[in-house]
Structure 1
Amino acid sequence: MHTAATAAAPYGWSLGLHALLAAALLASGLLRPQAPAPQPVPPIAAAIVDQSILQAVAELRAAERRRAAAERGRQAAQRAAERAAAQAEARHEAQRKAVQAEARRKAELAAQQQVERQARLRAAEESRRSAAEARQRAEREAELQARLANEGQRTDAAASSLRTQYVAAIQAHVEQRWFRPPGLAAGTSCTVHVLQIPGGEVAGLRFGDCGGGEALRRSIESAVRNASPLPAPPEPALFEREVRLVFTPED
């Protein structure tokens, strides 16, 4: 609305200028209705009237120029004010966005720090839990090993006793078929390693230390072969492919 009024102002001034010129011409008699032929005007009076009209026109034009210059100044000032307002608004908007960005950055940083703090707490808790579980496993393992060791010792002792009984049974079984040769010196002994297969069948034998001569060897070999099959062990796990027997003729 202000722009429309500003645009219409020059036309108003122009109309006013034409009206003023018309009034001056009327006053000078140039636009008067035709009337009876006037008396001739003296040249000096006509020159004065023309000079007044020209001066009035010049003043009107000067006023118009001043008004136009003032209008241009007003419009320039208005544009400057609008630019300043736009710049101020832009600065305000930039500041607002900067404040929002900073607030968002701080919020994101706080959230990230919270996530990292929770992660550290979970890691510490997991480490404590893992350490506790490892300690408990170690304690259970140690307890189990101790129990197995005790059971193993008892089992080994029992197996050793059964093995001793097993070898003694074979020794007795062979000696029942052994005929001692006469004339053996006191303290004579003979060691023989008997080879057997599962089921007790004698597969062979070999002598170790034997101080009784060939007669003693033949008597022991005959007894071993006549004793086949040898007694079975009380437990299959106690079977031994090679059994060591010691013969002492003075027994």
Structure 2
Amino acid sequence: MKTGAYPLAIVISLLLHGTLIAVIAYGWEASRRTEHKPMPQFVQARLVTVEAVTPKKKLPKKVDKIQQRAQREAQQRQQAEIERKRRAALERKKKRAAERKRQARIEAERKAREEKARQEKERKEREEKERKERLEKARQSSFDEALQEEEELLEANEGEQAVMSVAQAIQLRIESVWSRPPSARNGMRTLVQINFVPTGRVVAANILEGSGNAALDRSVLTAIRKVEVFPEVAELAREEPVVFEREVRKTMLNFIVEDLRQ
């Protein structure tokens, strides 16, 4: 055999074998189809009748369960989202209310501080004004008091001079009529109080401190009664009634024995 004819023989052999295999397979498949016979007609009628009387419940498909679960999960997610939004809205509302309260508290505290500062300022201004008024009154009072004291001092000096002058006049008048007893001795002293009325008349004369010599004490009282009326006292009572009331109405005088020859 030639070399070029050998491959051709192989190809032809393969084609023949393939054709044979195809014919065999087709015949086997046809024999399988012929073995499946259709159900008898009466069986189908009986089945239809039974199904009409007692219909069978259709079982839910697996796909339907998956869809229902997905729907439930979607509804749950939707409800959860709605609840989340509701809670978030409620929380925002609470925060806004809390913020309004905080702002109101801050504003109230600010107003309270301002009012307190205003009252404190007014109090200080009022105290400062009162302090200045007190100082002014004190200065005015001090000035008035000093002026009054000066006037009183002048009046007292004048009154004192007037009283001394009147007292000297009273004593000179009494001593001019005083007759001392023989038992009197130099150095004896008698203190008397003489009560006057504004007319200058003596209404009472009393020994405050005796000399120890009764005759001498009586002689002083006798001399006072002899004079009886003192014009100097009446004149002072007319011109200086206050001085008369304060210094002269009750006059105390000392009568001392000094010029006796022993």
User: TM-score by structure 1 length?
Assistant: 0.63
Tell me whether 1:194 sits opposite 2:192 in the alignment: yes
By how many angstroms is 1:41 displaced?
A: 0.5
Matched-pair contact (CA < 8 Å) for 1:189–1:246 = no
Pairing 1:1-251 to 2, within 5 Å after superposition:
41=41, 43=43, 57-58=58-59, 61-62=61-62, 64-178=64-178, 191-199=189-197, 200-205=202-207, 220-231=220-231, 232-233=233-234, 234-235=236-237, 236-237=244-245, 238-246=247-255, 249=259
Of residues 189-198 and 126-135 in structure 1, the stretch that sits farther from structure 2 once superposed is 189-198
Moved more, 125-134 or 152-161: 125-134
Please identify, of 164-173 and 240-249, the stretch whose mean Cα deviation from structure 2 is larger.
Answer: 240-249
CA–CA distance in structure 2, aligned partners of residues 86 and 80 of structure 1: 10
CA distance change for structure 1 residues 124 and 221 in 2, over 3 Å: closer, same or farther?
closer
The Cα of 1:79 is off from its aligned counterpart by 1.3
In structure 2, the gaps of 5 or more residues are 1-39, 238-243
How far 1:230 sits from its partner (Å)?
4.6
- How far is 1:46 from its partner? 7.9
Letter of the aligned partner of 1:124 in structure 2? K
**1:219 offset after TM fit, Å?**
5.3
**Matched-pair contact (CA < 8 Å) for 1:179–1:219:** yes
CA gap of 1:69–1:163, structure 2 versus 1, over 3 A, is: same
Alpha-carbon distance, 1:57 to partner: 3.5
Distance 1:191 1:167, change over 3 A: farther
SS of alignment partner, residue 41 of structure 2? coil
1:246 to partner: Cα distance: 4.0
- Whether the 8 Å CA contact 2:192–2:253 is kept in 1: the answer is yes
Instruction: Give the partner amino acid of 2:223.
Output: A
Deviations 1:41-73 (A, max 9, x none): 1648988xx9xxx99944x55455444333322
Distance 1:43 1:198, change over 3 A: same
Letter in 2 for 1:197: N
Which whole-Å deviations, capped at 9, do the CAs of 1:128-157 have from their partners, x for residues lacking one? 212212221221222122112211210110
Unaligned runs of at least 5 residues, structure 1: 1-39
Q: Shift of the alpha carbon at 1:96?
A: 1.1
Alignment partners' CA distance in 1, 2:106 and 2:138: 47
RMSD across aligned positions (CA): 3.9
Q: Which residue of 2 aligns with 1:18?
A: none
Q: Is the 8 A contact 2:207 2:217 kept in 1?
A: no
- Residue type matched to 1:151 in 2? E
| C-alpha contact (below 8 Å) 1:174/1:227 kept by paired residues | yes
Matching residue's letter, 1:88: A
User: Does structure 1 retain, via aligned residues, the 8 Å contact 2:191–2:210?
Assistant: yes
Letter of the 1:68 partner, please give it. Answer: Q
Q: How many pairs align?
A: 202
Distance 1:102 1:217 in 2: 101
TM (norm. structure 2) is: 0.60
Cα pair distance change 1:205/1:106, threshold 3 Å: closer
CA contact (8 A) 2:205 2:221 kept: no
